């Protein structure tokens, strides 16, 4: 039995239609079961615009069924196949459809391009990308995945070498869900180096030049040796779990004091772990919380606070005392006041009344 739709006995006037040849515009007559016709004027073969090819778009036996597929249909086969698969899979994946299936769809859109020749690996573009699409890999900025880049170009102005630009190309669609998962997976834990590889936050243990056997005093008789034994030194950058904090004698220095004191390393830093900050311009509450965590997590032996004689510096020892109270610790605290010319004006231990409430 033949399908009534294909049996000419059941056809009506709608079974015959005309279409203009896309090459020359000459009218070409189509019967509804004809997939292609050849224009008599120019010889161009084209598909029947009224015909629904249905499964012929993706069936491997299509050519056996209806003959050679028209070029217009061949060009769309991949897209039609993806669409067919997506329609079948979407009910099963529900809300997870875009993450699991949509990532395979590529569209022409705006996306970042990185010129590796110009990139010097400074890493300034990394924190500028809120989606985490850029990372420093092998000393160069790299686009981790197309789906993490929204193409808005927020990172462009952060590149001093002009190595970034926005282009249009085929890429996976921007996926907000994937970005959230990526940011959660790559969020650095306390104490880890930044994603940009910036050495300012990388924990390091240094060898004191004073104890190095390779240092020759006869060759460099006037050179003072560094007593710095660790990195970083900024209060806000030192993680509370840094190994050099265990059982340490802390030197908390106002950031102007190393500039004012010509013998800062020899007079204050030797055999101590230094933490540098500014009580005036930095967040005092953040400092207090940071010190409290350090005091609670590490067996700190002593704290020496070196401050300038100016009034704004005097709050730094108070912040340290408040942090001791918060951590329920009683640690020996010495306050050293330095003049603008770098001279030590006075040294004083914390008074007992300032330590009241600490058990």
Question: pLDDT tens digits, the chain, 359 residues: what are they?
Answer: 455 555 666 677 777 888 888 888 899 988 877 777 888 888 888 777 776 555 555 565 655 555 555 555 555 555 555 565 566 655 655 555 555 555 556 788 999 999 988 888 877 888 888 888 998 887 788 998 998 999 888 888 778 888 999 999 998 888 888 888 888 887 655 444 444 445 555 556 665 544 444 444 444 445 568 889 888 899 988 888 888 999 999 999 999 999 999 999 999 998 999 999 998 888 888 899 999 999 999 999 999 999 999 888 888 999 999 999 999 999 999 999 999 888 999 998 875 444 444 43
Strand segments, DSSP code E, in the chain are 16-20, 27-31, 36-38, 45-47, 106-114, 134-137, 140-143, 164-172, 204-205, 230-231, 249-254, 273-277, 302-308, 332-338, 344-349
Q: Show Cβ contacts of residue 143 under 8 Å, excluding neighbours closer than 6 positions.
A: 111, 112, 114, 133, 134, 149
In angstroms, the CA 287 to CA 209 distance is 30
pLDDT tens, position by position, 303-351: 999 999 988 888 899 999 999 999 999 999 999 999 988 899 999 887 5
Give the residue from 54, 53, 36 showing the smallest Cα distance to 45: 36
Q: At what angle do helices 284-297 and 315-327 cross, to 10 degrees?
A: 40
Q: How confident is the model at residue 354, as a pLDDT?
A: 45
Tell me whether strands 302-308 and 332-338 are parallel, antiparallel or unpaired.
Answer: parallel
Q: Which of helix, strand or coil describes residue 16?
A: strand
Residue appearing with tokens 């207090």: 288
CA neighbor of 88 nearest in space, from 61, 55, 60 = 55
List, in order of start, the domains of the chain with CATH numbers: 16-75 (no CATH), 105-189 (3.30.70.20), 203-210+225-355 (3.40.1050)
| Distance (Å, whole) CA 162 – CA 154 | 13
Q: pTM for this one?
A: 0.44
Residue 290: name the closest of 336, 234, 331 by CA. Answer: 234
What are 281's two structure tokens? 């311009």
Q: How many CB atoms lie within 10 A of CB 36?
A: 19
């Amino acid at each position: 039995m033949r399908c009534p739709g294909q049996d000419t006995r059941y056809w009506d006037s709608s079974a015959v239609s005309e279409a203009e040849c896309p090459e020359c515009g000459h009218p070409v007559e189509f019967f509804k079961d004809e997939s292609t016709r050849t224009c008599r004027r120019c010889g161009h073969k084209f598909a029947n615009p009224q015909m629904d090819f249905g499964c012929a778009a993706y069936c491997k036996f299509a050519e056996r069924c209806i003959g050679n597929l028209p070029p217009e249909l061949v060009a769309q086969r991949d897209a039609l196949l993806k669409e067919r698969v997506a329609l079948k899979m979407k009910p099963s994946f529900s809300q997870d459809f875009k993450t699991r299936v949509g990532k395979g769809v590529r569209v022409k859109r705006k996306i970042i391009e990185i010129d590796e020749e110009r990139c010097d690996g400074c890493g300034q573009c990394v924190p500028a990308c809120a989606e985490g699409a850029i990372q420093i890999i092998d000393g160069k900025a790299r686009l981790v995945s197309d789906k993490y880049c929204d193409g808005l170009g927020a990172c462009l102005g952060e590149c001093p070498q002009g190595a970034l630009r926005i282009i249009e190309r085929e890429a996976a669609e921007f996926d907000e869900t994937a970005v959230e998962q990526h940011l959660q997976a790559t969020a650095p834990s306390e104490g880890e180096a930044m994603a940009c590889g910036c050495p300012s936050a990388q924990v390091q243990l240094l060898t004191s030049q004073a104890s190095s056997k390779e240092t020759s005093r006869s060759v460099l008789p006037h050179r003072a040796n560094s007593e710095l034994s660790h990195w970083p030194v900024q209060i806000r950058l030192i993680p509370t779990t840094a190994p050099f904090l265990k059982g340490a004698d802390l030197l908390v220095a106002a950031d102007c004091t190393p500039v004012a004191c010509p013998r800062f390393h020899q007079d204050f830093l030797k055999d101590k772990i230094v933490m540098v900050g500014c009580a005036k311009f930095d967040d005092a509450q953040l400092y207090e919380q940071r010190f409290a965590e350090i005091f609670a997590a590490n067996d700190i032996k002593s704290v020496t606070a070196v401050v300038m004689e100016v009034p704004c510096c005097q709050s730094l020892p108070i912040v340290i005392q408040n942090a001791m109270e918060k951590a329920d610790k009683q640690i020996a605290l010495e306050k050293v006041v330095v003049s603008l010319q770098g001279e030590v004006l006075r040294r004083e231990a914390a008074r007992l009344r300032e330590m009241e409430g600490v058990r």
